[in-house]
Structure 1
């Protein structure tokens, strides 16, 4: 019981910190109106030109600002202001025009033709045309894209001729075809239920990258340096102090109209000081990817100048099992990890972790425990049929006993079926405080059922994710979070065995085949049919269990009330920033 005791002490300490923070920030003053409203409401003055807005994120972007190569949500904070796709989404996740003003499908939905905006320009004044669209998708399908570090092959793999072109068997790219300067047609191998989602990817400029070898693109100044990154979006990337500050200046010639703000500045700020800076007005908003901590909710709510946005996260945190070791994209070199190969072991670990306590202790219940890696905002999410893995230490011990993992030497920890010492290592990165706090609590839960866990010294996020990619041969367990795409519930971009994000090296042919079945036309155009197949896949995931879905905490975003024009989406705070303006 010593583990349980120390766990409760740790959770109590975290709760105490939140209570102290709430007390320090929630004191009422004589200036607070008796009706409970905080502060004086801003008088509506209408949109005004000018001003600088400052946002905060707790981790520095790694420095890759090319949409076809970036990997992190921190880089997306910059990219989303610079680049645009042909289509966007609204608050109901319905597709809406962006760089394409309209589109039409052919009869069997194997082709979709887009009419492009005729007044859109790149930041350097060059016109945006169909050539840029063709070029972007050609790069995603290009031989050498994966070798150059590209991880988004799933965006292009449904296109006609993708297999032949990506392998070099054909020199002709058939998937995206220019009709004229402002018309482009996407052609798919077969009718595609995800056609609009596939066409939503940010477009990059051919006149900037067209003369480069794809191997040189990730390191090119045009992918990394302020002043040289060129998009069509409402803001230009103009200045940067790497790891500290990133400046976006308005694109006065933006095709949807000149932005009201002069600048949006991103500052990299330690989580510990973000709230103080928010309260005194040194930063104006904190949003993606981590927002502010649930422990600080009452403190932020008591700030009269701050507005809170709370909504379910479009993603989740996992503890992954390193099921195989070896290069992610070369299954022929994978070697099974004997320490976690038995599904009963993985299931026992899921039962051992009290995810409800983890959620309540760390996030004050502001979130949810989910059992499937599909966002709950999609109606394809199945909350009934997959295994639920409610906290049950006795069931965990029973499964471990059945699998032959028992304590043979009486030291309180189980040995493997051969009688050898059995120690699992748990890896996690620095920077995300939630993960840093979760790791020792998970260790406690697992040790309570006799599983010895060693916490590996955490590394900076950039190093950690690089190691997860190419240097994880000794890993057993790892913590990571996923922000999901909002365009389609298909989980294949992360969980298929042949994709670059398959960090557990999960190799389940039946699960792969079920995803193919869920997307295969014409049946896949029937939503009920598709949801049924995705439900069957979710059950497979839960039974084979390449990862424990720990929690999906609520997004907690905050912004200064001087910022007007905010229209948050279910998956993103910075929506239509050209409409943002400040009142002072």
Structure 2
């Protein structure tokens, strides 16, 4: 069975979006108004330093093809770059590649690279670095060494032969001189630029290091040894406490204005006071500020807040089927052997549960209103999202009760809880993970809501995320409900990695042939080269999903990033405030 590291952060199945500003007058003020009122210089001033806050220390892996920690990503966002990036509309735009072209059937993507780009150590960036990076990710030993980014290479021509050791040539990435590289795909690809978006590592640093040893190399771990092309370099660190980035003077887009960026590991309870007194200048990915701190921080005159919908969602999962013990032991997914979960097998029961959950209450009480209702497992910012075709499941206590009553789920012994239509006790087992306070608070609220419509729920002791994911993967056969959060990527709205029958993350064991057929149609070329065509298919799929309900989408929590008004040039994009950071500058020096 395929196992994947579960990472709650980033990055991100994505989509098209406009920034959502803060909801109050202060947050909607323009920087130009603030500059005029506070005599802030209009033109950038070179020099100065800023301090960012993170709530947990990076695990210590600063090689972008091996890292799996969101706090490492905070640093790597400034130190390393990809061939392409995304703009505020989530369109792919040039980065280390300046232009590209596709062949007619989208099996070849040729990129023309920026010339004169220098690595932090002064060596020149070339197409050989690109080929080397993708060969490393496709290497037979990459996964065993801890790598998790094989999604970037699996569709490439010759990947299977390369990863199986049948050849030492990866046909799917080819350099043509120093400044042209071609990606060749085994089949036509809908979103080829996504596969060109992996961060690039330097061949001259790693070429003599076996893949097995790469994660432990000094070039992956130590300040001054970590080499990228980004505007800043990891220069120093006090492990677990502070991480210092110094500007890359030969940065290809121009010398950054800031001299350095310092990351400090701080505790959440002191964030507001540190922002107020100027000890820290910004809080960005992955956590931002807590919704419970919003009102306090929003009152600070020296602090601006960026608020926009997150690319992800919280869900209440319904176990449709369980695997057989034999298949679990073999480590195989075989839907033909899946056993229906009779306690939740009727879609109308799942719909009744959805009507019985007050999602607005969850958003207001747990997120202080800083969240969005979703009626589909596609990000709301996406061109593919269309709630007009879905059931909204607006909270309706009486409707939920009526549905259950009509199905024969009635309280026959006057204990306040419904028995099933055969008169047997009906108890739903509910598991959820630790590590996220809002999620931990969500679980008991849902239990109370379900008890209000007469459903008895056994809320079990929360488990470590890794443990719960293992149990969901291997099927704890008495599990009925589960609570999780999924993060979506910014590349494509395709939900199949979570909801296709054979998807590793299909923990509900949803087996709906019509769903699989629609998901396949949305990827089938050449029709799927048309976004309008794909949107029409995804509308049908979202309608089906909302009726059959493999899970009930609760909400998307808004991202809340805060920064001191002395920091200028911030141009957030939908999934991050780290954009064109070489243009950041400070209006007053510390």
Tell me which of 330, 333, 336 is aligned to 1:331: 333
Please give the TM-score of this superposition, normalised by the length of structure 2: 0.82
For residues 230-309 of structure 1, the aligned pairs below 5 Å read 230-309=227-306
Secondary structure of the 2:110 match is strand
CA distance in structure 2 between the partners assigned to 1:579 and 1:327 by the alignment: 54
State whether residues 151 and 500 of structure 1, in contact with CA within 8 Å, keep that contact through their aligned partners in structure 2: no
- 1:440 and 2:437 matched: no
Query: How much has 1:506 moved relative to structure 2?
Result: 4.8
What are the ranges of 5 or more consecutive residues in structure 2 without an aligned counterpart? 1-24, 26-32
Please give the TM-score of this superposition, normalised by the length of structure 1: 0.82
Query: How much has 1:87 moved relative to structure 2?
Result: 0.8
CA distance in structure 2 between the partners assigned to 1:218 and 1:540 by the alignment: 44
- 1:361 and 2:358 matched: no
Question: Partner residue of 2:431?
Answer: 426
Question: Partner residue of 1:466?
Answer: 466
CA distance in structure 2 between the partners assigned to 1:230 and 1:393 by the alignment: 58
CA distance in structure 2 between the partners assigned to 1:449 and 1:176 by the alignment: 57
Query: How much has 1:530 moved relative to structure 2?
Result: 0.9
- 1:94 and 2:98 matched: no
Seen in structure 2, the aligned counterparts of structure 1 residues 421 and 528 have a Cα distance that, compared at 3 Å, is closer
Query: How much has 1:406 moved relative to structure 2?
Result: 5.4
- 1:74 and 2:84 matched: no
Tell me which of 59, 82, 88 is aligned to 1:85: 82
Secondary structure of the 2:552 match is strand
Tell me which of 388, 393, 396 is aligned to 1:392: 396
CA distance in structure 2 between the partners assigned to 1:554 and 1:530 by the alignment: 27
For residues 491-510 of structure 1, the aligned pairs below 5 Å read 491-498=495-502, 501-502=505-506, 504=508, 506=510, 508-510=512-514
Query: How much has 1:507 moved relative to structure 2?
Result: 5.0
State whether residues 387 and 543 of structure 1, in contact with CA within 8 Å, keep that contact through their aligned partners in structure 2: yes
Secondary structure of the 1:159 match is coil
- 1:342 and 2:339 matched: no
State whether residues 66 and 146 of structure 2, in contact with CA within 8 Å, keep that contact through their aligned partners in structure 1: yes
State whether residues 231 and 581 of structure 2, in contact with CA within 8 Å, keep that contact through their aligned partners in structure 1: yes
Tell which deviates more after alignment, 526-535 or 384-393.
Answer: 384-393
Query: How much has 1:567 moved relative to structure 2?
Result: 0.8
Seen in structure 2, the aligned counterparts of structure 1 residues 516 and 381 have a Cα distance that, compared at 3 Å, is same
Seen in structure 2, the aligned counterparts of structure 1 residues 454 and 65 have a Cα distance that, compared at 3 Å, is farther
Tell me which of 556, 567, 578 is aligned to 1:574: 578
For residues 531-550 of structure 1, the aligned pairs below 5 Å read 531-550=535-554
Question: Partner residue of 2:15?
Answer: none
Question: Partner residue of 2:122?
Answer: 125
Seen in structure 2, the aligned counterparts of structure 1 residues 447 and 275 have a Cα distance that, compared at 3 Å, is same
Secondary structure of the 1:549 match is strand
Query: How much has 1:56 moved relative to structure 2?
Result: 2.0
Structure 1 residues 256-310: Cα deviation after superposition (integer angstroms, max 9, x where no partner): 2222222222233333221121111111112223322344444333211111222
Query: How much has 1:123 moved relative to structure 2?
Result: 2.7
Secondary structure of the 2:307 match is strand
CA distance in structure 2 between the partners assigned to 1:256 and 1:404 by the alignment: 68
Seen in structure 2, the aligned counterparts of structure 1 residues 361 and 137 have a Cα distance that, compared at 3 Å, is same
Seen in structure 2, the aligned counterparts of structure 1 residues 527 and 480 have a Cα distance that, compared at 3 Å, is same
Query: How much has 1:64 moved relative to structure 2?
Result: 4.1
State whether residues 418 and 425 of structure 2, in contact with CA within 8 Å, keep that contact through their aligned partners in structure 1: no
Query: How much has 1:496 moved relative to structure 2?
Result: 3.9
Seen in structure 2, the aligned counterparts of structure 1 residues 167 and 537 have a Cα distance that, compared at 3 Å, is farther
Query: How much has 1:204 moved relative to structure 2?
Result: 2.5
Secondary structure of the 2:387 match is coil
State whether residues 339 and 424 of structure 1, in contact with CA within 8 Å, keep that contact through their aligned partners in structure 2: no
Q: How many residues align?
A: 545
Secondary structure of the 1:554 match is strand
CA distance in structure 1 between the partners assigned to 2:493 and 2:453 by the alignment: 35
Tell which deviates more after alignment, 148-157 or 109-118.
Answer: 148-157
Query: How much has 1:133 moved relative to structure 2?
Result: 1.6
For residues 541-560 of structure 1, the aligned pairs below 5 Å read 541-560=545-564
